[in-house]
Amino acid sequence: MTIASPSVIVFGSLHYDIMVHGPARPRKGETVAGESWHPKCGGKGGNQAVSAAKTGIRTAMIGAVADDAFGRALVENLGRQGVDYRFVKVADGVGSGMSVAIFDSEGDYGAVIVSGSNLLLGQSDVDRAAELFNEQSVLVLQNEVPDLANVAAAKAMKAAGGRVILNAAPARDLSPLLCELVDVIVVNAIEAEQLTDVAVVDSLAGALDAARLLAQTYPAAVVTAGGEGLACATKSDKEFLIEAITVRLVSTHGAGDEFTGVLAAEIASGTGMEDALRAANQAAAVLVSTPRDTVQ
């Protein structure tokens, strides 16, 4: 009998990103002269898969692209980064997912995504990838694909005895079906505010309050609070507060995905929750302080 090895499975979005840099993000009706732009292979799912794979753990992506230049670039990038892309399908009649992100001089950004082929993920894609799901695997989900597609993937993982991490971004109402299948929910401050009754999450104390509320629904809840750090609360009353690592900020883009991908890899490898959170926090700090101006 073959014994399954620890692995991360990412079910979710692939976007071809256009990154625009300028002095400020435009207000409504305003045109701002930019300084530079570059393309990047992303999508929350794609980013998280690459981040997990960089740790050395076996990583697979279940997703959808179109038969276009963006789709081909996204699949090729997964291969270069060591991600198993056998279960990324090529969809007909729709374009690949893409986004435009506009960065200001402080490294913060706003973005618009066009989901395209990502909205075509569903039960059939889970069924095709059945061989990936086992008790040694961690499944990573995000909110850039349909809720029912996430439910299908989470059901398959729980039936196989594995664990499920949901990065509930962008924030949206989650179905009770999905909520009951999630082992760890990961959100940032804004998403935590939208999913709980905490008015403002701008400190570690606020992040912990939000994590406690989320832990009433999920076995473990992680709330990241940007430059403040992160908080974690569990249904078993364990709590962790981890301060941010001081770095010179270059760009916050992708920090949450780096955090989630590394967290999943550490959990799959058997690392305890607190140490897994610290490793993920360290990886995110390195990312936000690293210049990025080429296709990933």
Structure tokens at 250: 């270059």
Supply the pLDDT for residue 295.
42
CB 177 within 8 A of CB 150: no
In 3-state terms, what secondary structure has residue 292?
coil
Structure tokens at 84: 């198993």
Give CA–CA dist 193/211, Å, rounded.
Answer: 10
Domains detected in the chain: 8-25+36-182+245-288 (3.40.1190.20)
Looking up tokens 């999920």 gives: 218
Supply the pLDDT for residue 235.
95
Q: Which residues are registered as beta bridge partners of 243? A: 229
Q: What angle do the packed helices 44-54 and 255-268 form, to 10 degrees?
A: 50
Pairing of strands 220-224, 58-66: unpaired
Give CA–CA dist 36/287, Å, rounded.
Answer: 20
Per-residue pLDDT of the chain (296 residues; tens, 9 = 90+): 445 688 999 999 999 999 999 999 888 899 999 999 999 999 999 999 999 999 999 999 999 999 999 999 999 999 999 999 999 999 999 999 999 989 888 877 788 889 999 999 999 999 999 999 999 999 999 999 999 999 999 999 999 999 999 999 998 999 999 999 999 999 999 999 999 988 789 899 999 999 999 999 999 999 999 888 999 999 999 999 999 888 887 777 778 999 999 999 999 999 999 999 999 999 999 988 887 654 44
Structure tokens at 186: 């990961």
Looking up tokens 């971004």 gives: 169
Closest listed residue to residue 11, CA positions, set 54, 56, 59, 53: 59
